[in-house]
Structure 1
Amino acid sequence: MKFTKNVEDVIANFRGLPRTVSAAARRDPTPLDNILAVLQEKYKLEKPSPERTLVENWEKIFGPSMCERCHPVRIKDEHTLVVSVTNQTLRSELQFMKRSILKKIQKLEHCEDINELVIRS
């Protein structure tokens, strides 16, 4: 029967044997600076993005009354913004405003490629 490392360590402790030491436990830890650099490169955290621009300008796009009742979910296929709303009534209201909302979004920096808006309740 195969046990996890933690279970093997408990059994070894109970029997008075030394704990198992894996190869990963013996090597030096990776400096946090290196991990952060890899994450910044992988997720492009330093570069401006449409997601960041949308979040920063959400109230400007939807106004103070609606911005708290709808939230961006994701940008699908780099051209479609998916928005989640709190109820069906708000969804219907935003469907009528879709064209004007898209124009506001397309005027934002880094959001020019967004040409479709999907509203989900």
Structure 2
Amino acid sequence: MKFSKNIEDIIADFRGLPHTVTTSARREPKPLDSIMVLLQEKYKLEKPSPERTLVENWEKIFGPSLCERCHPVRIKDERTLIISVTNQTLRSELQFMKRSFLKKIQALEHCSDIKDLVIRS
């Protein structure tokens, strides 16, 4: 059975054994700013993205009454926006207005590739 490093150290203390030394314990810590640079490059945090644009404009797309009851989940295959809603009734309501929401989304910068909405409750 695998345990975390802390649990293994507690068990070793209880049994009177030395603590295990892992390679990460011997490695020098990296400065936080270098890690932040790596994360920004890996996840493209500084570049504009459809996800960021959608979150920033969510209330403009769905209006104040609906934006609190539905949320973007993810963009699948760079073409399909998956939306989560609070209940089945709202899901049906949004299905009827799907085209108008999709047009608003496609009009946003960086979101023109989104071609479909999937609404899940």
Q: TM over 0.5, yes or no?
A: yes
Match of 1:45 in 2: 45
Mapped to 2, the partners of 1:3 and 1:68 lie a distance apart of 42
Match of 2:32 in 1: 32
CA RMSD of aligned residues (A): 2.1
- Would you say 1:106 and 2:106 are equivalent positions? yes
Share of identical aligned residues, percent? 79
Note the residue ranges of structure 1 that are not aligned, 5 or more in a row. Answer: none
Note the residue ranges of structure 2 that are not aligned, 5 or more in a row. Answer: none
| Residue pairs, 1:68-87, within 5 angstroms | 68-87=68-87
Q: Give, in angstroms, the shift of residue 85 of structure 1.
A: 0.8
Mapped to 2, the partners of 1:90 and 1:11 lie a distance apart of 52
Q: Give, in angstroms, the shift of residue 20 of structure 1.
A: 3.6
Mapped to 1, the partners of 2:84 and 2:57 lie a distance apart of 16
| Residue pairs, 1:7-26, within 5 angstroms | 9-10=9-10, 13=13, 18-26=18-26
Mapped to 2, the partners of 1:100 and 1:7 lie a distance apart of 54
Relative to structure 2, which stretch is displaced further, 11-20 or 28-37? Answer: 11-20
- Secondary structure, in 3 states, of the residue corresponding to 2:100? helix
Opposite residue 86 of structure 1, the aligned amino acid is: T
Q: Give, in angstroms, the shift of residue 104 of structure 1.
A: 0.3
Relative to structure 2, which stretch is displaced further, 68-77 or 31-40? Answer: 31-40
Mapped to 2, the partners of 1:93 and 1:12 lie a distance apart of 59
Opposite residue 109 of structure 1, the aligned amino acid is: E
Q: Give, in angstroms, the shift of residue 32 of structure 1.
A: 1.0
**Are residues 67 and 16 of structure 1, via their aligned partners in 2, closer, same or farther at CA, if it must alter by over 3 Å?**
closer
Opposite residue 51 of structure 1, the aligned amino acid is: E
